[in-house]
Chain A
Amino acid sequence: MTARIGVVTFPGSLDDRDTQRAIRLAGAEPVALWHKDKDLKQVDAVVLPGGFSYGDYLRAGAISRFSPVMETVIEQAKAGLPVLGICNGFQILTEAHLLPGGMLGNDHLHFICRDQKLRVENAGTAWTSDYEQGQEIHIPLKNMDGRYVADQYTLDKLEAEGRVAFRYLDFNPNGSLNDIAGITNEAGNVVGLMPHPEHAVEPLIGTGRTDGLPFFTSILKKLVNA
C-alpha cells in the first residue's frame, strides 16, 4: 500500500505540479486539491506548495489562509494530519497560526534564487525522519518574502523545544532571525520551510542534487508504517 498525499492548488500556486512529481518520485500517490473545495479527498497528508497565491497581494499567504480548503486543513492539522508548507505554503501556515511567527520581505529587498545550504536541526518530525539529526543538505531557495521573524519569547520557545527544523548555513539569504529556514509545531506533524525540497529530487534537474527527496520518503514511511 502507499500513501495519498494531497497538494493544494491556490490561484497563483506555482510549484503544485512539481510537488506532485516529487511525491510520485518518492513512491506515494499525489492527489490534487482545489482551494475552493473543503474536501480533502481523504488524503493522509497535505502539502501547501510554493508560489504567489493571490499574487502575494496584501501579504504573502494572508488571503489564501481564508480559502475554503484551509478550514479543513487547519481543523485536521490540529487533529494530527501531517501538513508541510513550502515557501508560500509556509507563509500560509504562519498566517493560519498553525505555525508561530511570520515572514517579512528579504532584508536586501530583492528576490533571491540560490542553492542554499541548510542544517537539519530536528529529524524527529513527520517530514524529516529520513534525515540524520544535524545533517547538512543543499536545497534550492527562491523567494521575495523569506525573512522569518517572531518575538523573542517565541524564538526562545522554538529553540528550547527543538522546534527549529532547519537553519541556514554559511549564508543567511534573507535576514531570518536565528538563521531560521524552517520550523515545526509542537506535535511535529506541521512543518514549514522557505527552501524548496521539491526542486531537489532528481539528479539531472535544477541543482542536480536529491537532498529534498527525504521530505517525501519520510512522510511516506511514517504513513505506510502507521
Chain B
Amino acid sequence: MSRTPLDTVEHAAATPDVELPWAELGLKKDEYERVVEILGRRPTGAELAMYSVMWSEHCSYKSSKVHLRQFGEKAPESDAMLVGIGENAGVVDVGQGYAVTFKVESHNHPSYVEPYQGAATGVGGIVRDIIAMGARPVAVVDPLRFGAADHPDTKRVLPGVVAGIGGYGNCLGLPNIGGEVVFDSCYQGNPLVNAGAIGVMRHEDIHLAKASGAGNKVILYGARTGGDGIGGASILASETFDDAKPSKRPAVQVGDPFQEKLLIECTLEAFKEKLVVGIQDLGAAGLSCATSELASNGSGGMRVTLDDVPLRDSTLSPEEILMSESQERMCAVVEPEKVDRFLEICAKWDVIATVIGEVTDGDRLEIYWHGGKIVDVDPRTVAHEGPVYERPYARPSWQDELQADDANKLPRPETSEELKDQVLKLVGSPNQASKKWITSQYDHFVQGNTVLAQPEDSGMIRIDEETGLGVAIATDGNGRYAKLDPYAGAQLALAEAYRNVATTGAKPLAVSDCLNFGSPEDPAVMWQFAEAVRGLADACQQLGTPVTGGNVSLYNQTGEAAIHPTPVVAVLGVIDDVARRTPVAFQEEGQLLYLLGDTREEFGGSAWSQVVHDHLGGLPPKVDLERERLLAEILISASRDGMIDSAHDLSDGGLIQAVVESALLGGKGARLIVPDGLDAFTFLFSESAGRAVVAVPRSEEVRFNDMCGARGLPATRIGVVDGDRVELQGEFALTLEELRKAHEETIPALLA
C-alpha cells in the first residue's frame, strides 16, 4: 500500500499544477478559480474539501441569497427580536425574562434515500441548533409531505419517516406538538421532511456561534467522527488522494438519539455554570462549517489539530474528517481555566470531549494534520464570502393557462344527497382525514408542559409553571395555492399559521420558514422562489412578524418535474396564561357557532377541487392581511376574556372540515344553517382566507357580538353545538359515527 505525500499548504504552493477533483466535489470552474485567487495558490485537498462543502447550495445559499435579503430589508420593527437571521436559530423575547428560539429546517433528500435515518437526523440537527443558542429544547413539530397516499412508494417512505421522527424525538424527551401531513403526487420521489424545534432560555443565557479571546480552547464533544454523511467526499476518498481507501461512504448520516440526549444535558449544565464563550453544532459540512463559522464570527483566528479529533474509523483522511457529517457533535469555545470543569461535566454525562485547538490572535484558520499545516485560510472566505448567483428567472409559460383553468367553474353538487356524499368524501380524503395513526407514534406528553398538541390549530407549551406563560407554534404551507400563485401562496401559508396561533389564543410574534422548491437552474422554479420570498417578506412586514431564520431546500425535483413550490411557514406566538387557551373541540351543547370573516366563491387550489375533481387551476383565495390581523385580535381578546370556548381556523376543506373536526374531537354534534347570501355549497367548501368558526356560550353572545361589531369583523351566527350529528338544515345530516368512520379509517387503511 502506497501513500501519497501529505498535501500541506507548502506542498500545494510547490505543486501548482496538481489537478484537484473540484468538479466532482460540486464546484464550478469559476468557483474553483476563485478559491485559487483567494488563496494565491492552488488549495490543498483539505482546503478544497472545506470550500466545496461550504460553498455548496445547501450551506452557502448561493442561489437564494439575493432574494432572502428581503427578509432583513423588509423586516418589521419588532421589540421581540433578540437574535435575528444568521445565527443557528432566531431568538424572540416572550416576556418575564424568557427568550424563545425556534427554527424549521428540511431533511428532504436524505429522507427519500433512507426514510428512518433521514428523518431521525433531521430532528437531531434542528434540536442541536436550538441547544447551540443556549436553550433547553421544549418541543418539536414536523411538517411532512409525501407522494400520493395510495402510491406503493409512499408506504415505503412514510412509515419510515414517521418511525424515524418518533424514534429520535421520543428518545430525546421532546414532545411533538404539531406539524402537517400532506399527500400530493408532486412529492412522489421528493418527499418533504421538514423539522422544527422550539427552545426556551432566560435572556442572559443566549449563546452565539463565535470564537473570541486568543488562547481560548476549542473543544469538540459528543460522538466520535466517522465516515458517515460524507456526500461528495467519496471522491476525495478515491484514487486522487489515496488508492487504498474504501471508495464509497454512506451519504446519509446515522443518528443516535441517546447520545444527543446526553449532549443536551451536558451542554445545558455547562451553560448553567457559564463555561462557554461560543458554541456551534456540527451539522451540514461538519467540522468545516463549525470551525470556519466560529472563527469567522469571532475576533481572532483559530488553530486546530485534526489528529486530536476522536475517530470512529482510524483510516479516515483529514479531508474526510473535515467533511464528515457524523451526528451528535458540538464544538465549544472555552476559556483555558474553565476547560477542566467543562471536561468534568462531559465526563459526568459520559460524553467524549477533546480539546482540538485554540483561538489565536491572528485572522487565519489553520488546521494541522500529522505535524503539517493542511489548511491556512481566511475563515470568512469559507463561511461567509461564498459565491452569490443572480440566477435568471422567468414567469413560466404555463402560468396563465393554469390560472385561467378556473376551479369556480367545476360542476358542483346538485342535490342534497350529492352534497352529503361530497362532505363524506372530503373528510375521509387522505389530506383531510385524521392523522392520528401518525401522530400517536409521537410522544406528546413528555416534559409535562404540553397544553395543546396536534390536531389542535397550534401546539402550545407552558414555559413558566408559576405564571402560566406559554408559547404556541403552528406550521402551514399549501403547495397547491403556491403553484397557482407563488406570491399569494407564500402569504397564505403565513396567514394560516398566524391565524392558527391566534385561534388558540396566542399572540403571533415571529416567523421561521422552510422554503422547498425545485431546481434553481430552471428559470420557472427560480421565478416561483423569487415570488414566494417576495410575498412572504411583504406579508411579514405587514403583519409585524419578522423572519428570524429558516432554511432553503432546492433541487426537489425528479427530471424535469419539480414539486409544487412549497414554502412552509412556522409562526411562534406567546400567551400570558395558558389557562386561557382555546381548544378546537366543541365543549358544551347549546353553545352558539359563529363564522368570523367573509366567505366568497373561492375554490382554486381547494381541497374540494382536488378530492372531487382531481383539479388544480384558477387562483388561490384572496389575501387580506389586515383582515387576518383583525381576526387574530378578536380571537385573542375573546380567549383572554372568556368569550369563546372553542375555535377552529378555516383553511383547506373549508367550514365543513373545521366543524366536523371540532365535533369529532368534542364528541358533540352541530346543527348548521346556511346564512343569508350564501348557497350551501359555497358555505361548506369555500376556502376564503381570514376566517374561523367559534363556539360562544349563550351568556357571552351579546358581549362577543358587540366586540366584533365595534371592530368591524363580520360575525355570522351559523348554528349551535348540539346532539350527535352534524346537520345542515334542509340538506342533510351525518351521524358522528359515520363521520368518525370516514375521517379516522382512511390513513390506517392505506398505511398500517
- Please report A residues at the B interface, Cβ cutoff 8 Å: 11-12, 14-15, 17-18, 21-22, 50-52, 54-57, 110-114, 140, 142, 144, 196, 198-199, 201-202, 204-207
Contacts of B451 in A (CB 8 A): 204-205
Contact of A110 among B163, B173, B257 (CB under 8 A): B163
Report B-chain residues with C-beta under 8 Å of the C-beta of A201: 448
Partner pick for B258 among A11, A114, A198, A206, CB 8 A cutoff: A11
B475 interfacial by beta-carbon distance below 8 Å? no
Q: B179: CB under 8 A from chain A?
A: no
Contacting residues of chain B (440-458) with chain A, CB-CB under 8 angstroms: 440-451
Given contacts A55-B171, A113-B441, contact A21 B579 (CB under 8 A): no
Bound CA span A196–B258, Å: 21
Q: Does B340 contact A (CB under 8 A)?
A: no
Q: In the complex, what distance in Å separates the CA atom of A72 from the CA atom of B350?
A: 22
User: Smallest CB-CB separation from B465: which chain A residue?
Assistant: A21
B74 CB to nearest A CB, Å: 38
In the complex, how many angstroms separate the beta carbon of B60 from the nearest chain A beta carbon?
Answer: 35
B555 interface contact, C-beta 8 A: no
Are B445's CB and A113's CB within 8 A? Answer: yes
Q: Please give the distance in Å from A16's CB to the nearest CB on chain B.
A: 9
Shortest CB-to-CB span from B665 to chain A, Å, is 12
The contact of B445 among A21, A52, A110, A196, by CB within 8 Å, is A196
* Pick from B163, B258, B445: contact of A55, CB under 8 Å: B258
Give 8 closest A-B pairs by Cβ, nearest first: A55-B258, A14-B173, A18-B448, A199-B445, A52-B171, A111-B166, A111-B441, A206-B445
Which residues of chain B are near A11, meaning CB under 8 Å?
Answer: 258, 261-262, 349-350
Q: Name 21 interchain pairs, CB-CB below 8 A, sorted by A.
A: A11-B258, A11-B261, A11-B350, A17-B447, A21-B448, A52-B257, A56-B171, A57-B258, A110-B166, A110-B440, A111-B442, A111-B443, A112-B441, A142-B445, A144-B170, A196-B445, A204-B451, A204-B578, A204-B579, A205-B448, A205-B450
Given A11-B261, A11-B350, A55-B258, 10 other A-B residues pairs in contact with their CB atoms under 8 A = A14-B173, A15-B446, A15-B448, A51-B173, A113-B440, A142-B170, A142-B443, A204-B451, A205-B450, A207-B445
Per-residue contact bits, chain B 235-269, to A (CB 8 Å; 1 contact, 0 not): 00000000000000000000011110110000000
CA distance A14 to B171 in the complex (A): 8
CB distance from B268 to the nearest CB of A (A): 12
**Interface of B toward A, CB cutoff 8 Å:** 163, 166-167, 170-173, 256-259, 261-262, 349-350, 439-451, 462, 465, 578-579
Contact among B440, B442, B462 for A204, CB-based, below 8 A? B462
A12 engages B167 (CB within 8 Å) = no
Are B170 and A111 in touch, CB under 8 angstroms? yes
Specify which chain A residues have a CB less than 8 angstroms from the CB of B440 in the assembled complex.
110, 112-114
A210 to chain B, nearest CB (A): 12
Q: Could you tell me the distance in whole angstroms from the C-beta of A184 to the nearest C-beta in chain B? A: 24
Q: Are B171 and A113 interface neighbours, CB within 8 A?
A: no
Q: Which residues of chain B have C-beta atoms less than 8 A from A18's C-beta?
A: 446-448
Closest chain A residue, CB of each to CB of B439: A113
Which residues of chain B come closer than 8 Å to A21, judged between CB atoms?
Answer: 448, 465
| B449 closest partner in A (C-beta) | A205
Q: Shortest Cβ distance from B470 into chain A, in angstroms?
A: 10
Q: Which residues of A contact B462 (CB under 8 A)?
A: 204-205
- A15 CA / B262 CA spacing, docked (Å): 14
Residue of A nearest to B437 (CB): A110
The reply to whether B448 and A206 contact each other, CB–CB distance below 8 Å, is yes
Distance in angstroms from A113 CB to nearest chain B CB is 5
Complex interface: chain B residues within 8 A of A14 (CB): 171-173, 261, 446-447
Which residue of A50, A51, A54, A201 has the most chain B CB atoms within 10 A of its CB atom? A51
Contact A111 B167 (CB under 8 A): yes
What B residues does A54 contact at CB under 8 A?
A: 258
Given A111-B167, A205-B462, A142 and B258 contact (CB-CB distance below 8 Å): no
CA distance in complex: A111, B262 (Å): 22
Contact of B448 among A12, A56, A198 (CB under 8 A): A198
CA distance A21 to B464 in the complex (A): 13
Beta-carbon contact of B256 and A55 below 8 Å: yes
Q: Which residues of A contact B445 (CB under 8 A)?
A: 113, 140, 142, 196, 199, 206-207
State the Cβ distance, A13 to closest chain B Cβ, in Å: 8
- Does the CB pair A15–B173 fall under 8 Å? yes
Residues of B within 8 A of A52 (CB): 170-171, 257-258, 261
Nearest-Cβ distance from residue B155 to partner chain A, whole angstroms: 14
Who on chain B is nearest to A21 by CB?
Answer: B448
A55: B residues at CB distance < 8 A: 171, 256-259
* Pair A113/B442 contact, Cβ less than 8 Å: yes
How far, in angstroms, from A105 to B441 measured CA to CA in the complex? Answer: 14
Say yes or no: A142 contacts B446, CB within 8 Å: yes
Residue of B whose beta carbon sits closest to that of A18: B448
A residues less than 8 Å from B259 (CB atoms): 55
A81 to B530, CA, bound (A): 66
How far apart sit A110 and B439, CA to CA, in the bound complex (Å)?
Answer: 11
Q: How far is the CA of A17 from the CA of B167 in the complex (A)?
A: 21
Distance in angstroms between the alpha carbons of A22 and B441 in the assembled complex: 24
Cα A155 to Cα B440 in complex, Å, equals 29
Assembled-state Cα–Cα distance A168/B349 (Å): 36
Known: A54-B258, A113-B441. A206 touches B450 (CB 8 A): yes
Residue in chain A with minimal CB distance to B258? A55
In the bound complex, CA of A202 to CA of B579 (Å):
11
How long is the Cα–Cα vector from A202 to B465 in the complex, in angstroms?
11
B172 / chain A contacts, CB cutoff of 8 Å: 14
Kindly state the separation between the CA atoms of A57 and B259 in the bound complex, as whole angstroms: 12
Q: A114: shortest Cβ distance to chain B, in Å?
A: 6
User: Are A12 and B163 in touch, CB under 8 angstroms?
Assistant: no
Task: Give chain B residues whose Cβ lies under 8 Å from the Cβ of A57.
Answer: 258
Q: Which residues of A contact B258 (CB under 8 A)?
A: 11-12, 52, 54-57
A204 to B578, CA, bound (A): 8
B165 to chain A: closest residue by CB: A111
Most A Cβ at <10 Å: residue of B171, B445, B446, B462: B445
Docked complex Cα distance between A204 and B446 (Å): 14
**Chain A nearest CB, measured from B5 CB (Å):** 42
Q: In the complex, what residues of A have CB within 8 A of residue B170's CB? A: 52, 111, 142, 144
Q: Roughly how many angstroms separate A56 CA and B349 CA in the complex, as a whole number?
A: 16
Q: Determine the chain A residues whose CB is within 8 A of the CB of B163 once the complex forms.
A: 110-111
Question: Shortest CB–CB separation between residue A60 and chain B, in angstroms?
Answer: 11
With both beta carbons as reference points, the residue of chain A lying nearest to B447 in the complex is identified as A18
Name the A residues within 8 Å of B173 (CB-CB).
Answer: 14-15, 51
With CB as the reference atom, state the residue of chain B lying closest to A24.
Answer: B465
Chain B residue numbers with a CB within 8 Å of A199 are: 445-446, 448
Q: With both chains docked as a complex, state the minimum distance between the C-beta of B302 and any C-beta of chain A, in angstroms.
A: 31
Q: Closest approach, in angstroms, between the C-beta of A8 and any C-beta of chain B?
A: 14
- Taken together as a complex, chains A and B put the C-alpha atoms of A14 and B443 apart, in Å, by 11
**Residue among A14, A15, A113, A205 having the largest count of chain B Cβ atoms under 10 Å:** A113
- Chain B residue numbers with a CB within 8 Å of A144 are 170
